[in-house]
């Protein structure tokens, strides 16, 4: 998976910083295939600069105890969340909800999510991960984040991509991604301006 951040060019100094959170750490996960497609959509936009937080690389304990090992992981992860203007969270669906590793990463942070927009992308079987998305909306509302209305979901995701990780029929997903990212950009700019003018308190 492509995990390096894009350095903004001179023309992108006002670009929105968008952190893509890859929410699965399961053995044999399909997430990196969808994540690479998402990163290409983000990098197609002149108004966004992308970087990645991958749950599989963030080995945080579930105890929420700030051990030296946890502190070392957080020193890499937390700045990527803190400097983001917006987030795209990619999740599969496990047992009608989102993965424990993603919840753990979310729970290790609070202010980093606050008064920022979150776009949700899901993949799975017949439901396309949409039940996980609805649960995530409740979690992010509690953290004072704003989830954008439109999503991208891949039903029977494994059949949607070929062996090279290319979408077999990209037209509908690409259109859905543009709508979602347009909404994310609107909220990101509005909330960034609002946070600057009036710091959010909760």
Q: Which residue has the tokens 């497609």?
A: 37
Specify the pTM: 0.93
Q: What are the residues facing 88 on neighbouring strands?
A: 20, 119
- Element holding 52 (H helix, E strand): strand 48-54
CA torsion, points 30, 33, 39, 44, in degrees to nearest 10? -140
Which pLDDT belongs to residue 41?
Answer: 98
128: left (phi over 0), alpha (psi -120 to 50) or beta: left
**Per residue in 49-102, pLDDT tens?**
999 999 999 999 999 999 999 999 999 999 999 999 999 999 999 999 999 999
Separation CA 134–CA 144 (nearest Å): 16
Which pLDDT belongs to residue 10?
Answer: 39
With contact defined as beta carbons under 8 Å apart, do 123 and 176 qualify?
no
DSSP code of residue 63: T
The CATH classification number of 15-197 equals: 3.40.50.360
E strand map for 55-178: 86-92, 117-124, 146-147, 152-155
Neighbours of 8 (CB within 10 A): 13
Cα→Cα distances 168→96, 157, 159, 174, Å: 26, 11, 8, 12
**Residue 143 in this model has a pLDDT that exceeds 70:** yes
CA atoms lying within 13 Å on the CB side of residue 19: 20
Per-residue burial over 110-132, b = 16 or more CB atoms within 10 Å of its CB, e = otherwise: eebbebbbbbbbbbbeeebbbbb
pLDDT classification of 202: cutoffs 50, 70, 90: confident
Q: How many helices and strands in the chain, by DSSP H and E? A: 6, 6
């Amino acid at each position: 998976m492509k995990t390096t951040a894009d350095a903004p060019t001179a023309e992108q100094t006002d670009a929105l910083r968008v952190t893509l959170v890859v929410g699965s750490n399961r053995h044999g996960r399909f997430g990196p295939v969808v994540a690479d497609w998402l990163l290409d959509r983000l990098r197609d936009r002149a108004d966004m600069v992308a970087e990645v937080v991958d749950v599989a690389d963030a080995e945080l304990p579930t105890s929420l105890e700030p051990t030296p090992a946890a502190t070392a992981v957080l020193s890499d992860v937390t700045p990527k969340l803190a400097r983001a203007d917006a987030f795209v969270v990619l999740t599969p669906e496990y047992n009608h909800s989102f993965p424990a590793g993603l919840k753990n990463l979310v729970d290790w942070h609070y202010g980093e999510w606050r008064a920022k927009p979150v776009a949700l992308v899901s993949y799975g079987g017949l439901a396309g991960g949409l039940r996980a998305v609805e649960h995530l909306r409740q979690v992010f509302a509690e953290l004072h984040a704003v989830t954008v209305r439109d999503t991208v979901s891949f039903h029977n995701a494994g059949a949607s991509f070929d062996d090279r990780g290319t979408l077999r029929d990209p037209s509908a997903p690409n259109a859905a991604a543009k709508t979602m990212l347009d909404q994310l950009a609107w909220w990101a700019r509005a909330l960034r301006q609002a946070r600057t003018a009036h710091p959010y308190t909760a």
